[in-house]
Chains A and B, each alone.
Chain A
Amino acid sequence: NAGVTQTPKFRILKIGQSMTLQCTQDMNHNYMYWYRQDPGMGLKLIYYSVGAGITDKGEVPNGYNVSRSTTEDFPLRLELAAPSQTSVYFCASLQRRFNTDTQYFGPGTRLTVL
């Protein structure tokens, strides 16, 4: 299993540009998440999905959009990039078991908006 994969690993955008961060998991998990992590800070939830066709906003959704057409893929769209969106973006999928939940994270996408 590859687990959770994210592309690209690094990206530099100009203000006002748009891009899609890709996230794919091969563990057949229903729950998937997008987080951003600013330097020295914890992870903040942007959007999440409990299954194909279902998405919901997290703590910091403004400036982002998501879709979930398949169980495997959960892309994050940035429209009109702003410097405040410079961050590291992590995608995660969730394994739910009786006595614990485990989030598996991708390696992250480091985005700089100039």
Chain B
Amino acid sequence: RKEVEQDPGPFNVPEGATVAFNCTYSNSASQSFFWYRQDCRKEPKLLMSVYSSGNEDGRFTAQLNRASQYISLLIRDSKLSDSATYLCVVNIPTGNQFYFGTGTSLTVIP
């Protein structure tokens, strides 16, 4: 069983739309959670950490549900520049290793 699973998409949405991605993780003892963004043929970059109480950064909202072992990312008022692959990342209990999902592809259409 994979440590982290994501719907690969693709998600094609019009500008201004709201879109949500989910991610599930298998290890109930996982400690910390993140969303990374990866542009085509580029390196991943941290978008935001995911905190237990949920957190927001501008148009982006991240939620964690420990009971169901899933993480979500909500993007409001989508921009063309949001087009990218979004990677869900989980830190396993030893704290030193990170597991990446395969990514969810988003294209925002004019």
Q: How many A-B residue pairs have CB under 8 A?
A: 48
Instruction: Report whether over half of chain B's contact residues are helix, strand or loop; otherwise say mixed.
Output: strand
B4: which A residues are within 8 A, CB to CB? 42
Identify A105's interface contact among B44, B49, B91, B101, CB under 8 A: B44
Interface residues contributed by chain A, number (CB under 8 Å)? 24
A105: which B residues are within 8 A, CB to CB? 43-45
Q: With contacts A42-B4, A42-B103 known, is A107 near B96, CB below 8 A?
A: no
Q: With contacts A40-B102, A41-B102 known, is A58 near B46, CB below 8 A?
A: no
Pick the 4 closest A-B CB pairs, nearest first: A105-B43, A42-B100, A43-B100, A100-B49
- Assembled-state Cα–Cα distance A105/B38 (Å): 11
Residues of B within 8 A of A (CB): 4, 8, 32, 34, 36, 42-46, 49, 51, 87, 91, 96-103
Instruction: Report whether over half of chain A's contact residues are helix, strand or loop; otherwise say mixed.
Output: strand
Minimal beta-carbon separation of B88 from chain A (angstroms): 9
Interface check A78, CB cutoff 8 A: no
Contact (Cβ within 8 A) B102 A48 = no
Minimal beta-carbon separation of B48 from chain A (angstroms): 9
